Chain A
Amino acid sequence: EPEVTQTPSHQVTQMGQEVILRCVPISNHLYFYWYRQILGQKVEFLVSFYNNEISEKSEIFDDQFSVERPDGSNFTLKIRSTKLEDSAMYFCASSEWGLGSTDTQYFGPGTRLTVL
């Protein structure tokens, strides 16, 4: 069964460093998303991406964040200058289409980002 994959599973970085989190969405899906979950808190939407551009973003997704689809399979989230409060689990998700049950978002296993 197709699934969303994410690398790395765990990333440790120093405050102020740039990190890139990688995702491979399900191959026939058209919509891609990033979410984050700070330990003990709810899953929060960051950004959605469709047709090679950002469709929607939350207040969390500020200028420190960027997303890119550098090729036909990968979808990346870049954090330019990490802060301690960026420590969280980051989930990538994808959905097939925008109608009815086909907008079901399937989540990857996540990347745990630890900022020291």
Chain B
Amino acid sequence: QKEVEQNSGPLSVPEGAIASLNCTYSDRGSQSFFWYRQYSGKSPELIMFIYSNGDKEDGRFTAQLNKASQYVSLLIRDSQPSDSATYLCAPSGGGADGLTFGKGTHLIIQP
């Protein structure tokens, strides 16, 4: 069974700094991961998809995947107050598989 663990926070980061969000997972068979952002009262919104070991960059966001350590992370550079949200990671099952979300990390960017 797929399980993900995230520090629920809140994680407080000053504006302009780098926010680092971490996620560990239990299923060694998981090959790829999604990072979603969820604002309070809103639906999850895709931030990044990563399937290879190493880093993937998209604008201010960098996802890192380490399959040997079963660890995936998300770095947000030059953090903005609008980045304040809950960040969810989920392994991709493909096709009809439902996503297994952790509780997510509540990120607060302090102006």
Q: Which residues of A contact B (CB under 8 A)?
A: 31, 33, 35, 41-50, 55-56, 58, 89, 91, 95, 97-101, 103-110
Name the CB-closest residue of B to A51.
B96
B95 CB–A CB distance under 8 Å: yes
**B98/A58 in contact, CB under 8 A:** yes
- The answer to whether A110 and B43 touch across the interface, beta carbons within 8 angstroms, is yes
What B residues does A41 contact at CB under 8 A?
103
Residue of A nearest to B51 (CB): A100
Tell me the number of A-to-B contacts counted with CB atoms below 8 Å: 66
B38-50: CB near A (< 8 Å → 1, else 0) gives 1001111110010
Contacts of A35 in B (CB 8 A): 98-99
A41 CB to closest chain B CB, in angstroms? Answer: 8
- Decide yes or no whether B34 CB sits under 8 A from chain A: yes
B32 touching A100, Cβ below 8 Å: yes
Residues of B near any A CB (own CB < 8 A): 32, 34, 38, 41-46, 49, 51, 88, 92-104
Do A56 and B102 have beta carbons less than 8 Å apart? no
* Residue of chain B at shortest CB distance from A49: B96
A31 partner residues in chain B, CB cutoff 8 A? 95-96
Please state if B98 and A48 are interface contacts (CB–CB under 8 Å): yes
Q: Does B46 contact A108, Cβ atoms closer than 8 Å?
A: no
Query: B46's contact among A33, A50, A104, by CB below 8 Å, is which?
Result: A104
Q: Which chain A residues border B99 with CB–CB below 8 Å? A: 33, 35, 43, 45, 105
Given A42-B103, A109-B42, 5 other A-B contacts at CB below 8 A?
Answer: A31-B95, A41-B103, A43-B88, A99-B94, A104-B49
Return A5 CB to nearest CB of chain B, in Å: 11
In Å, the complex CA distance between A103 and B46 comes to 12
Given known A43-B44, A109-B42, contact A104–B34 (CB-CB < 8 A): yes
> CA A48 – CA B93 in complex, angstroms?
12
A48 to B98, CA, bound (A): 7
Contacting residues, chain B, for A42 (C-beta < 8 A) = 88, 101-104
